[in-house]
Amino acid sequence: MSMNKGKKETNKMRIRAFPMTMDQKYVDNIWALLKNAIQEIQKKNNSGLSFEELYRNAYTMVLHKHGEKLYTGLREVVTDHLVNKIREDVVESLNNNFLQTLNSAWNDHQTSMVMIRDILMHMDRVYVQQNTVDNVYNLGLMIFRDQVTRYPNIRDHLQQTLLDMVARERKGEVVDRGAVKNACQMLMVLGIESRTVYEEDFERPFLDQSGEFYRRESQKFLEENSASVYINKVEARINEEAERARHYLDNSTEDPIVKVLEDELISKHMKTIVEMENSGVVHMLKHNKTEDLACMYKLFIRVPQGLKTMCDCISAYLREEGKALVQDEGSKNAITYIQSLLDLKDRFDHFLHQSFSEDRQFKQMVSGDFEFFINLNQKSPEYLSLFVDDKLKKGVKGMSEQEIENVLDKCMVLFRFLQEKDVFERYYKQHLAKRLLLNKSVSDDSEKNMISKLKTECGCQFTSKLEGMFKDMTVSTSTMDEFKGHLQTSGTNLHGVDLFVRVLTTGFWPTQSATPKCNIPTAPRMAFEAFRRFYLAKHSGRQLSLQPQLGSADLNATFFGTKKDDVDASGASSAPKGGPRKHIIQVSTFQMCVLMLFNNRDKWTYEEMKSETDIPEKDLMRAVQSLALGKMTQRILVKEPKTKEIESDHTLVVNDQFTSKLFRVKIQTVAAKGESEPERKETRSKVDEDRKHEIEAAIVRIMKARKKLQHNILIAEVTEQLKVRFLPSPVVIKKRIEGLIEREYLARTPEDRKIYTYVA
Amino acid sequence: MPRRRRISALEDEPRGKRPRTNTASSRKRGKANPTAPLVETLDMTYSSKRCIAWFHEYTGPDEDTIGPEGMEKFCEDIGVEPENVIMLAIAWKMDAKQMGFFTLAEWLRGMTDLQCDSVAKVQRKLDHLRGLFNDQVYFKNMYRYAFDFARDKDQRSMDIETAKAMLGLLLGKHWVLFGSFLQFLEQSKYKVINKDQWCNVLEFSRSVFSDLSNYDEDGAWPVLLDEFVDWHKGQRSHNMTS
């Protein structure tokens, strides 16, 4: 460094340069001053000191390149004080006020170091920076850490003390939380830029001890043998530990300690808790303990596999319940069957809402389970259709429109679970047809509403025919108006028959295998012929065929006999005896044929009826049963002998003693609510036929688009396309493929027999 | 091969009769059939005129199709039983449409391909024809041809009895599982075999081991063969336990 020493001649004002070097004595003096000051500070005697002077001196030292001496000296002084004075004090207090002593030593140290740092700030800024050593404050921390806090005796004792206090508080004692907090803070600070000191000296052993403790706790809790009590205790403990961490340990300990609890109290005993006899999940479900389930859910969601364990247990129970419902054949009719399924779904929806906060995993489980057991019973589609049928018929008691709407929506949920949706479609059509033809719908609007729900679910293919059925009804009404007009203008006489015809388009309505035969009595037959002539004149090229199994008739009946001696409740005899009684009887077409026989002759045997009417056995039996073997108010005919069965040689006569309070008597047909077994088989075979066609159509469609496709992929695609209607088995699909190969729609490629090509 | 005669013998070697070698002595000796020409021409070249003339030895005067009777004669002449599988090879060469009949066109096609216009020449070719069955590709072609050849022309499929006989002829010797397959067919409800099933049987016999260990259920085999495998496995375990 070149200083202009030589130029003394000039008269310019010169600023005298600061002496570049200090002599050793000067330096030593400054250091002695500072050292003394530091020691005074450490003894808490700082009041008499001048900050300015000390700062300046420190500044000077550093300026003159004596930073190192200052730094080293500082280290020595601090170490000396901490080792010889402070540590001694702390060690002495090991068995007496240890924590307090340590804490105050720490506080004092912090205070002094701040002051010392302030004095030596210049050194911090210059020397420390240049030489990349620890700054003053950190240096102080390190010395404290190494010489005091981590001094073996002290370190161990500190750890022990803290752990003891925690343990005591867990037992329920009150401890000095402040002291612990201070100690923890100290450890955190001593880590300087990390939490290692806290971690090693306290947190890790704390977590270990906690693990031990809760291992034992869990055993104790389990012995109480109540899942509900257990989980509530666990919840309490978790809250307690979290609060502890937040309040007087370090915040960052909250997560690890909670994890320890979750491990020991939940993870390790998940299955035990869930499956506990008489108190576990199944018990809770049975007894509707939504709160306990919610508590368990909140706990188990914390641990891996926790929810799955709960889910598995609930699923098993739900499947059991569902299976029991669907397989309980004898006692149920369709309505109670479906109602019980709806109730079960409601129950579990309630749980989902109240206890499981609509958790997706649980929702999927419930859906999967329902799908599983509802398809165990092949009659589910039929029963569901019957249930909906019941709700859409007139006379649904006690349900408002909104309630019906809700029930139908719930039915749609069940519908989605069905695998054999095409079977449902077939039955729905049948039932809808009956409702429309027998005029039993509660309202067109509800019917259309239901259809649109089905449309949303299944697409228009499902519903187009249903809509066609509605159209037929409307068209028939206007056709009848025209017919009435035609009768007047043409003067045709229907001989007292008031005819109402509904014309059904064959494709839309469910088909019978064959129209049953029936000899219609003369008067109605002539009337129908008149209509037929009229209709075919309007629509040439069409064919009309009468469907006797669907029609109904109102007959004017006169009963000539006297009433049976009948006294009513009040004691007086009621209506006058004698005189013919007239009633209007509402019957089916078959019943009409049977009854009108008695206009020709008084007595008929069953056999004679059969040959005269030509009605198929099954239908005739049903018709006669409902006329002759029903309730007294329904008994139009009397059978000899008066047995429950009807044999060929039994005779039937009109029940002239017939009475009814009503003028208009409706004869109920003895009909099964569902199908009989042979009918069911027939429906099933029709379904199978349709499925064959649908599978083939799907195969052709796919192959036409893809041209060339490997066997397995084709099977997969066909299954995928059809699964909204039913689940085709790979064997059935294979057979259809073979059929198509035979009919030369498809071929195997010559190179690889597993690949098919489309034959244009 | 005569149409009505059901094939029962499972052979592919002429019994007791050996193909004639082209020696003067054999030629001079002539054949067992006294109606055959005694003198062979030494002319080795093929003449279609001669071939046509020879054809008419087996037909009526104005007919253009060899029928069952002529067929029988033809077989005797060349020394091959009608049920012999070599007849199938000949029919295949001719691309004959109907078992038991050869039209003139078919005859010419096959004989031209074989370059034969006489019995002796055909006899010389018998070894060659037999050899065709050892070639994988030729065999496959003949096997497939056999289906259309043997089935009833107004049906798409082959009736089960014909199928069993044909399969015996073609596969009986070399396919270990043939016997079992035959049994299976007999106890099954199958009345006909369609072409796809027919072709797949050959594939099956060639690719699937006799213990069925490499049978792939997803291998796009016809359901018939799936059922056979199940049945065979059932039989096997039944036999082992009983």
User: Residue B41 above 60 pLDDT?
Assistant: no
CA A180, CA A174: separation in Å to the nearest integer?
Answer: 12
Instruction: Give how far A710 is from chain B: nearest CA, Å.
Output: 9
pLDDT for A278 beyond 70: yes
Of B199, B220, B223, the CB nearest to A731: B223
Quote the pLDDT of residue A709: 93
Instruction: Specify the 3-state DSSP secondary structure of A738.
Output: helix
Contact A748 B195 (CB under 8 A): no
Nearest to A639 by CA among A627, A653, A649, A625: A653
The pLDDT tens digits for B77-108 are 888 888 888 888 899 999 988 888 888 899 98
Task: Kindly list the residues from chain B whose CB atom is less than 8 angstroms away from the CB atom of residue A754.
Answer: 219-220
Q: Determine the pLDDT at residue B134.
A: 86
* Chain centroid to CA A138: 57
Chain A hits for B197, CB-CB cut-off 8 Å, are: 738
Residue A742 and residue B194: Cβ atoms within 8 Å? yes
Output the pLDDT for position A670. Answer: 64
pLDDT (tens digit, 9 = 90+) per residue, A431-487? 898 888 878 888 888 888 899 899 988 888 878 888 889 889 989 999 999 998 888
Chain B residues within 8 A of A711 when measuring between CB atoms? 218-220
Cβ <8 Å between B220 and A711 = yes
Beta carbons within 8 Å of A18's beta carbon, 6+ residues apart? A63
Q: What tokens does A680 get?
A: 């069911």
* pLDDT value for A400: 79
Contact by Cβ (8 Å): A119, A49:
no
Tell me the chain B residues in contact with residue A742 when contact means C-beta distances shorter than 8 Å. 156-157, 194-196
Give yes or no for residue A560 having a pLDDT over 60.
Answer: yes
Banded pLDDT at A395 (limits 50, 70, 90): low
Find chain A residues with C-beta within 8 A of B195's C-beta: 742
* pLDDT at A349 (0 to 100): 94
Q: Could you tell me which residues come within 8 angstroms of residue A260 by beta carbon, excluding any fewer than 6 positions away?
A: A207, A210, A211, A214
Q: Which amino acid is at B213?
A: S
Q: What proportion of chain A, given as a percentage, has pLDDT over 70?
A: 93
The pLDDT value recorded for residue A371 is: 94
Q: What is the predicted pLDDT for the residue at A593? A: 92
Average pLDDT, chain A: 87
CA closest to A741 among chain B residues: B196
Pick from A738, A742, A753: CB nearest B156: A742
Segment among A21-25, A201-205, A404-408, A514-518 with least mean pLDDT? A21-25
Greatest C-alpha distance within chain B: 67
Tell which residue, A452, A429, A596, A587, has the closest CA to residue A504: A429
Contacts with B203 from chain A: Cβ below 8 Å:
753
* Residue A409 backbone dihedrals phi, psi, to 5 degrees: -60, -40
Q: What is the pLDDT of residue A490?
A: 83
Position B224 scores a pLDDT of: 92
Contact A753 B203 (CB under 8 A): yes
pLDDT digits (tens, 9 = 90+) for A104-160: 999 999 999 999 999 899 989 988 888 888 999 999 999 999 988 888 888 999 999
In whole angstroms, what is the distance from residue A197 CA to residue A186 CA? 9
Q: What is the pTM of this model?
A: 0.71
Residue A384's pLDDT is what? 94
Q: Chain A residues within 8 A (CB-CB) of chain B?
A: 711-712, 731, 734-735, 738, 741-742, 748, 753-754
Nearest to A238 by CA among A200, A266, A209: A266
Q: What is the ipTM of this complex?
A: 0.72
Q: What is the pLDDT of residue B30?
A: 46
What residue in A sits closest to B216 (Cα-Cα)?
A754
Categorize the per-residue pLDDT at B5 as very low, low, confident or very high, splitting at 50, 70 and 90. Answer: very low
Shortest alpha-carbon distance between residue B223 and chain A (Å): 7
The pLDDT of residue A401 is 78
A604–chain B nearest CA distance, Å? 49
Per-residue pLDDT tens for A241-256? 999 888 888 888 899 9
Contacts of B196 in chain A (CB under 8 A): 738, 741-742, 748
pLDDT tens-place string over residues A686-721: 889 989 999 999 999 999 999 999 999 999 999 999
- Whether the CB-CB separation of B168 and B178 falls below 8 Å is answered with yes
Q: Between A and B, how many CB-CB pairs are < 8 A?
A: 33
Nearest to B223 among A712, A734, A748 (CB): A734
Average pLDDT for A271-283: 88
DSSP string, B219-240: S---HHHHHHHHHHHHHHHHHH
| Shortest Cα–Cα distance, B203 to chain A (Å) | 9
Question: Residue A513: which pLDDT band, with cuts at 50, 70 and 90?
Answer: low
Name the minimum distance, in Å, from the CA of B42 to any CA of chain A: 45
With a cut of 90, say whether residue A511 has pLDDT above it.
no
Q: What does the alpha-carbon distance between residue A639 and residue A11 come to, in Å, rounded to a whole number?
A: 157
Q: Which residues contact B166 (CB under 8 A, 6 or more apart)?
A: B7, B146, B147, B150, B158
**In this structure, what is the dihedral angle of CA atoms A660, A666, A667, A669, given to the nearest 10 degrees?**
-150
Cβ contact, residue pair B226, A731, below 8 Å: yes
The CA distance from A393 to A144, in Å, is 89
> Residue A659 corresponds to which tokens in the numbers above?
């009475």
User: Quick one: closest CA in B to A710, which residue?
Assistant: B220
Q: What is the pLDDT of residue B204?
A: 92
Give per-residue pLDDT as tens, B24-40. Answer: 444 444 445 555 554 55
